[in-house]
Amino acid sequence: MSGAGLTEPAAVARPVILCADDDPDILSLVSLRLERAGFEVVRVTDGDAALEVIRARRPAVSVLDVMMPRQTGYEVLAAVRGDEATRHLKVILLSARVQKSDIALGIAAGADAYLAKPFRSGELVALVRELIEAG
Amino acid sequence: MADSVPLSGTLRRGLLRGLHRDARSIPASWLYLGVGATAIAVYFFLPATPQSLLYVAIGAVSVTAIFIGTRRNLARGRRLPWYLFGLGLLAQVAGDLVFAFYEISRGHEPPSPSLADLFYLLSLPPLGLGAFLVLRRVGSMASREGVLDTIVVFCGVGLMQWVFFIDPLRHTTFDSRWERIAQMAYPAASVLLLVAVAQLLVGATARVFAYQLLLLSLALWVGANEAYSLDVDQYRGGSWIDALWLSAYVVWGAAALDPSIRGLARRDRRGLPRLTRTRLGLLAAASLTAPAVLVIERISHHHVHAYAVGVGGAILGVLVLFRLAGLVNSVERARRSERVFRHEAQQAQQLLAYQNEQLLELDRLKDEFVSSISHELRTPLTSISGYVEVLLESETDDERRSHLSIVDRNAHRLLGLVSDLLFAARLQDGRLELERDEVDLTRVVSHAVESARPRAENGGVRLDTVLAAVPAVRGEPDRLAQLLDNLISNAIKFTPPGGDVTVRLTATDSTVSIEVSDTGIGVPEAERERLFERFFRSQTALERQIQGTGLGLHISKAIVEAHGGRIGVDSNEGAGTTFVVDLPVAG
């Protein structure tokens, strides 16, 4: 498995990643994975908080659960894309809704990637890295 | 009289053409008709005395035939009309006997009126009553319309008989009053018989052979009587009219001898008489009697029966009006019930539409349910397999690693089941849509075999491939991989340790075939058809507790069919099973 975060030099500013999921177990799983891969992770458990963090901290990548209280992942995504200041930020939708139609809908709504639950950690980390490099 | 006589083939076929009876013998009725016709032919070549005797004999034999046929063919309780016919004809024969007595002993016809006339006239009530009973049984008078038609015909016939046959006798000079009455009685009685003939002609019942014979005999009888009445004075024994009377005797006897007479004893339940062309023609003729009689009398410069024609015409007019009113009423009734039915149909349609809507709603709810269940199951599975993965990364103890692997494997299996359920639910809705690309099956097969290899090795099963170079097919790689995974997993599951599973890939010009064969427990013949049904599990799988949901083959079949292919199974119980998938070549 790649990317043990401990090898990264602490002085270099680590990219900030936002993780939003209302399921605390999954939230800590995703965060754990990304932290171990060397990212700084901000955790939130609902859509409102996610949007607040995105506006305040401009995370390089936001990993949003679709079904969240207050605002769904789609609603947050729409707000991000609708704001000139945040439009360029990368967003990954993470969902247990895995039918082709769901995925197509997510991409059409402006997500940079759509990741199905359950995911393999390698898959998640590679995707985040890829988006940061592309950005 | 013998019921039937064996006969040679050719003759038999000739006689039986158009008939439906026992093919091994001539029916008694036909035999009787044949003998009777011969006797009538002989009659005209005989000198006076034997001629008179033969006349009586033919009548007597026919009466006997009627009694014998009635007893043989009809059940007790059904015989009355035919006994009445027999009785009536017996009276006729008695009259004939008196007639013959005069002819032979005195050398001339009996005086008028004589005992013969008495017998002849006595025969009419039983004949008429018999005809009435038969008609009632075959349903000619079961309805108001049927009765009205009968009365219309009766009036028409009555008017005609009065004007042309009965009334003229009032102005003829007779030796006695009794002679006049006797002579007038014949055409009067004919009215009843004519009505009976008309009713039989339009009768609604099935036209069995005996029915037709009865109709013919009555018609012959009435015809003879009418011809006789037209010219009473010219009649001598041996006249052509005798042929009619004699034929009537013979045909009547034949009718009683024919087994189809039973059909006449059965009640016809068709209700309303249908306005057939014959019935319409008969009614038209009857209702036009009055003007026709008037015209004929005027043309032939006869005395015009103004009163009779006027009264007859008026009665006929009223009757026709009644009949018409009945028709209009029944049309009204039909229209009313049509309206009711249409209303009911509309209501049923509305109900159906409503239920349809509800079904669609239920269907939507089911979709939502399946999809949300799948979502709900996937979320905890994400945590389970995610954390197991985390643990596995840092675990160094082999035994614990092995236990964690088991948890991981089963979490994935559970995920597979959830996916299969979701997939099957979508199949049920007919929502399997493919994204079609050119697919190299060699690659898909190799990949599927390689990912199944660890499972095969665990189960002690040898997994082999025989892959030929095959043309590409059009389809969705993921679905084809799912198909192969299902088939190969099944084969491994049902093969005991030490067995073989072989995957073959071959091609013809138009199809690529994938064959997955195993040396497993096999599928009993009775189960092969049901193998692809949703949730079907074979008895052996249940007995041996081989895990599964009964969805794999159902899904496989759907995938194959969505690709325009076919899937089949061949199996020797206890020796192995082979699944064959044929997919059309791309392009």
Decide: B304 and B233 in contact? Cβ < 8 Å.
no
Q: Which DSSP string corresponds to B70-90?
A: HHHHS-TTS-HHHHHHHHHHH
Instruction: Kindly report the backbone phi and psi dihedral angles of residue B110, in degrees, each rounded to the nearest multiple of 5, phi listed first.
Output: -65, 155
Q: Which of A67, A97, A121 is opposite residue B386, by nearest beta carbon? A: A121
Number of domains in chain A: 1
Q: Which of A26, A97, A119 is opposite residue B375, by nearest beta carbon? A: A97
Contacts of A103 in chain B (CB under 8 A): none
Residue of B nearest to A21 (CA): B379
Q: CA-to-CA distance for A4 and A1, rounded, in angstroms? A: 8
Residue A6 lies in a domain: no
Cα angle value B84/B86/B92 (rounded, 5°): 105
Structure confidence at residue A28 as a pLDDT band (50, 70, 90): very high
Task: Residue B529: count other Cβ atoms within 10 Å of its Cβ.
Answer: 10
Residue A3 lies in a domain: no
**Region B527-552 average pLDDT:** 78
Structure confidence at residue B581 as a pLDDT band (50, 70, 90): very high
Residue A4 lies in a domain: no
Most confident of B28-32, B249-253, B292-296, B575-579: B249-253
* Structure-model confidence comparison of residues B324 and B545, the more confident one: B324
ipTM: 0.81
Residue A36 lies in a domain: yes
E strand or H helix that includes residue B511: strand B511-518
Q: Which DSSP string corresponds to B160-202?
A: HHIIIIIHHHHTS--SSHHHHHHHHHHHHHHHHHHHHHHHHHH
Q: Check residue A64 and give its pLDDT.
A: 92
Residue A65 lies in a domain: yes
Decide: B421 and B551 in contact? Cβ < 8 Å.
yes
Residue of A nearest to B414 (CA): A118
- The encoded tokens of residue B181 equal 């009455």
Question: Inter-chain contact A118–B371, Cβ cutoff 8 Å?
Answer: no
Residue A116 lies in a domain: yes
Q: What is the CATH number of the domain that holds A116?
A: 3.40.50.2300
Instruction: Find the farthest-apart pair of alpha carbons in chain A and give their distance in angstroms, rounded.
Output: 44
**In terms of DSSP H, where are the helices of A13-93?**
24-36, 47-57, 73-82
Q: Identify the contact set of chain B against chain A, taking CB-CB distances under 8 A.
A: 371, 374-376, 378-379, 381-387, 389-390, 393, 411, 415, 419, 422, 426
**Region A100-106 average pLDDT:** 81
Of B302, B304, B303, the C-alpha closest to B312 is B304
Q: What is the DSSP letter of B476?
A: -
Residue of B nearest to A28 (CA): B383
Structure confidence at residue A4 as a pLDDT band (50, 70, 90): very low
Indicate the pTM of the whole model: 0.49
Q: CA-to-CA distance for B29 and B65, rounded, in angstroms? A: 10
Residue A7 lies in a domain: no
Range of the domain at A109: 13-134
Q: What is the mean pLDDT of chain B?
A: 84
Residue A8 lies in a domain: no
Give B331-341 pLDDT, tens digit per residue. 999 999 999 99
Give B183-242 pLDDT, tens digit per residue. 888 888 888 888 888 888 877 555 788 888 988 999 999 898 888 887 777 777 778 889
Contact of A120 with chain B, judged by CB distance below 8 Å, is answered with yes
Size of interface A-B (CB pairs under 8 A): 50
